[in-house]
Chains A and B, each alone.
Chain A
Amino acid sequence: MQKRWFLFEELVKRDFKEKYKRTVLGMGWSLLSPLLTLLVMKLVFTQFFGRTTPYYTIYLFSGNIVLAWFKESTKHGMNSLLHNAKIFTKINVPKYLFLFSKNVSSAVNFALTLVVYFLFCILDGISFGPHMLALLYPVACLLAFNLGMGLILSAMFVFFRDVKYLYDVFLTLLTYLSAIFYTVDSFPPAVQNLFLLNPVYCYIKYFRVVVIDGNIPSLAFHLLCAFYAVTLLLIGGAIYKKYNHKFLYYV
């Protein structure tokens, strides 16, 4: 256990150095991209949806940070196994650690954007209270969900290299289906419920309910969020367990 933790730490260090290339601005740059996305969306979509949606900037931003974390974590996660093929074909190491360490840097990135997010909340006059602590729940769920998705994708990417392109298509579709810049209120209730099939939408919704509405979602909604996270994590774990010693045939 101690040994694995040591390896995990060293891998995290490696990933950080790789990502920021030892530049001072490194972290700053990774904040810039979500902010620019936010700016463009705000400029463009305020015209269409902004007038009817309260706290529209925060509404957009909630969707953006959750989706951005999911995208970054899973995209980088997908590479993690194949990228380290040279290592695990020569040395017997626990392979999931490559993915976990990659996710640490994505999570840190998310934490940074979260700080900016709260700054925007203050600027927009959102009232802060103890209910904000409930945000820890979707964050934990998202972390598990991202890990699970990463496990599945990284395994698939070893077997099928075109998963990369297919996943890009999938992400584009997901972006439009996650109600980032529009509200689902104008859909009939049946359709609104269909949105709940999208886990990313659920986590975004959780954020919005807590931050914008100042409420805590229902118990059923909590269970739904946990269900998605746990399910993906289990599937991913099962795949890794099953194929642990088969990956090396494919690299």
Chain B
Amino acid sequence: MSILKADNVSIRYITGDFKDIGLKEYVVRRLQGRYKVTEFWADRHVSFSLERGDMLGIIGTNGAGKSTLLKAVSGIMVPTEGHMEIHGSIAALLELASGFDGDLTVRENTYLRGAMLGYTRKFMDEKYEEIIDFAELKDFQERPFKQLSSGMKSRLAFSIACLVSPDILILDEVLSVGDGAFRKKSGNKMREILNSGVTGILVSHSLSQVREMCNKILWLDHGKQIAFTDEVGLYCDAYEEFLLTKKLPQSREQVEQLARALAVRKQKEKEKEEHTEAQRLEAVLEEGTSEAAVQAALSILNKKRPDLLAKTTDSPAQVTADIPQAKG
């Protein structure tokens, strides 16, 4: 049975100047029939389902509806149409550092955040030391939160959120927290959690991260679902190419085309890179005194491609043809 299932989920946002007009203006506009809100669908007909242990990567450009979808999964929003089926507890790590109270101390904020995430006091009493240790804030426990640096803040937020053992873990661009050392530590912690069989959803603009960690992919574009698939490699390739060409694939064939186009492009880039490298080296050699340059070229050939030199002595005519290849 799937642990998380989105069934034809659509989420509608309303926008317009209704935020700024106030009650008086609202009444006036209502009476004049000028009151308008614009609706737009942040997500339209999105369906996917996850089994226990799955790691879903959600990819898509800005404004694709990724964060909105996560909000629906974590229960902050409800789908306008369709529905979510969730079996298990959810921990959502969305924009970690916001929502703390600057005047409270680190300790108080830790408890408050724990309470918001739905832990019990007993659980927090047990885990408090561990959280502070992990966040490396032992000397700051009684400091007002506003005195902390922003890195420290996100460290604390990450530590609190990661101590749960949820059934479903939602990660929105949070894999890079704090300075280098902590980033490594948090990355390890994250992998440890993910390896423990939790179901995860990852939103990341780093495709290599998605390729590495996810076994399923949901591709959204302007709220529309382009694909939900377990062919992570193929679709990541296609998405990467799409980022350049901005042409959405309409069918599986086109997806494969995109992926192939990427491979071709990658190959070309590689060749080009190697070509420029060759030119650079050649320039270096040219600059040297001509005899030394030739000597250097020869000694490199000797070391790396003695077969070429051997050929040269056989038939001098071939040298010109072979040398560029050797550089390549």
Seen from chain A, the residues whose Cβ lies within 8 Å of a Cβ on chain B are 2-3, 6-7, 9-11, 13-14, 17-18, 21, 86-93, 156, 159-163, 166, 245, 248-250
Contact with A along B76-100 (1 / 0, CB 8 A): 1110000000000000101100110
Bound together, the chains give a CA A250 to CA B21 distance in angstroms of 12
Contacts A87-B116, A91-B92, A92-B76 hold; do A14 and B22 have CB atoms under 8 A apart? no
Whether a CB of chain A sits under 8 angstroms from the CB of B252 is no
Bound together, the chains give a CA A11 to CA B112 distance in angstroms of 7
Contacts A13-B108, A88-B76, A90-B99 hold; do A250 and B118 have CB atoms under 8 A apart? no
Cβ-neighbour of B76 out of A10, A17, A86, A91 (below 8 A): A91
- For window 19-59 of B, CB contacts with A under 8 Å fall at 19-24, 26
Shortest Cβ distance from B112 into A: residue: A10
Contact indicator A7/B14 (Cβ below 8 Å)? no
Contacts A10-B111, A11-B112, A160-B22 hold; do A91 and B117 have CB atoms under 8 A apart? yes
Q: Which A residues touch B92, using CB under 8 A?
A: 90-92
Bound together, the chains give a CA A9 to CA B122 distance in angstroms of 13
Contact indicator B111/A162 (Cβ below 8 Å)? no
Q: Which B residues touch A10, using CB under 8 A?
A: 108, 111-112, 115
Q: Which B residues touch A91, using CB under 8 A?
A: 76, 92, 94, 99, 116-117
Contact indicator B101/A14 (Cβ below 8 Å)? yes
Write 14 A-B pairs (CB below 8 A) sorted by A numbering.
Answer: A3-B115, A6-B120, A7-B115, A9-B121, A14-B108, A87-B116, A90-B94, A91-B116, A159-B23, A160-B23, A163-B23, A245-B77, A245-B78, A248-B77
Q: Which A residues touch B119, using CB under 8 A?
A: 3, 6
Whether a CB of chain A sits under 8 angstroms from the CB of B159 is no
Whether a CB of chain A sits under 8 angstroms from the CB of B199 is no
Within the complex, the shortest CB–CB distance from B235 to chain A, in Å, comes to 29
Q: Which A residues touch B77, using CB under 8 A?
A: 245, 248
- For window 97-149 of B, CB contacts with A under 8 Å fall at 98-99, 101, 103-104, 108, 111-112, 115-121, 124
Q: Which A residues touch B13, using CB under 8 A?
A: 249
Within the complex, the shortest CB–CB distance from A67 to chain B, in Å, comes to 24
Contact indicator A6/B22 (Cβ below 8 Å)? no
Contact indicator A6/B99 (Cβ below 8 Å)? no
Category for how many chain B residues contact A: 20 to 34
Q: Which A residues touch B74, using CB under 8 A?
A: 92
**Among A86, A156, A160, A250, which residue has the most Cβ atoms of chain B within 10 A?**
A160
Q: Which A residues touch B111, using CB under 8 A?
A: 10
Bound together, the chains give a CA A87 to CA B157 distance in angstroms of 13
Within the complex, the shortest CB–CB distance from B98 to chain A, in Å, comes to 5
Whether a CB of chain A sits under 8 angstroms from the CB of B151 is no
Contact indicator A14/B23 (Cβ below 8 Å)? no
Within the complex, the shortest CB–CB distance from B188 to chain A, in Å, comes to 25
Q: Which B residues touch A250, using CB under 8 A?
A: 18-19
Bound together, the chains give a CA A212 to CA B324 distance in angstroms of 109
Q: Which B residues touch A6, using CB under 8 A?
A: 115, 119-121, 124
Whether a CB of chain A sits under 8 angstroms from the CB of B288 is no
Q: Which B residues touch A7, using CB under 8 A?
A: 115-116, 118
Q: Which B residues touch A18, using CB under 8 A?
A: 101, 103
Cβ-neighbour of B99 out of A86, A160, A166 (below 8 A): A86
Whether a CB of chain A sits under 8 angstroms from the CB of B75 is yes
Bound together, the chains give a CA A245 to CA B68 distance in angstroms of 13
Q: Given contacts A160-B22, A160-B23, list 16 more A-B pairs with CB under 8 A.
A: A3-B118, A6-B121, A90-B94, A91-B76, A91-B92, A92-B92, A160-B21, A162-B22, A163-B22, A166-B23, A166-B24, A245-B76, A245-B78, A248-B76, A249-B14, A250-B19
Contacts A18-B103, A248-B76 hold; do A160 and B26 have CB atoms under 8 A apart? yes
Contact indicator B23/A17 (Cβ below 8 Å)? no
Bound together, the chains give a CA A124 to CA B316 distance in angstroms of 124
Q: Which B residues touch A162, using CB under 8 A?
A: 22-24
Within the complex, the shortest CB–CB distance from A104 to chain B, in Å, comes to 15
Cβ-neighbour of B120 out of A3, A11, A248 (below 8 A): A3
Within the complex, the shortest CB–CB distance from B285 to chain A, in Å, comes to 59
Give the 4 A-B CB pairs with smallest separation, nearest first.
A162-B22, A160-B23, A7-B115, A92-B75
Bound together, the chains give a CA A245 to CA B18 distance in angstroms of 17
Bound together, the chains give a CA A93 to CA B22 distance in angstroms of 27
Contact with A along B1-29 (1 / 0, CB 8 A): 00000000000011000111111101000
Bound together, the chains give a CA A92 to CA B89 distance in angstroms of 12
Contacts A17-B103, A160-B26, A249-B14 hold; do A90 and B112 have CB atoms under 8 A apart? no
Q: Which A residues touch B120, using CB under 8 A?
A: 2-3, 6
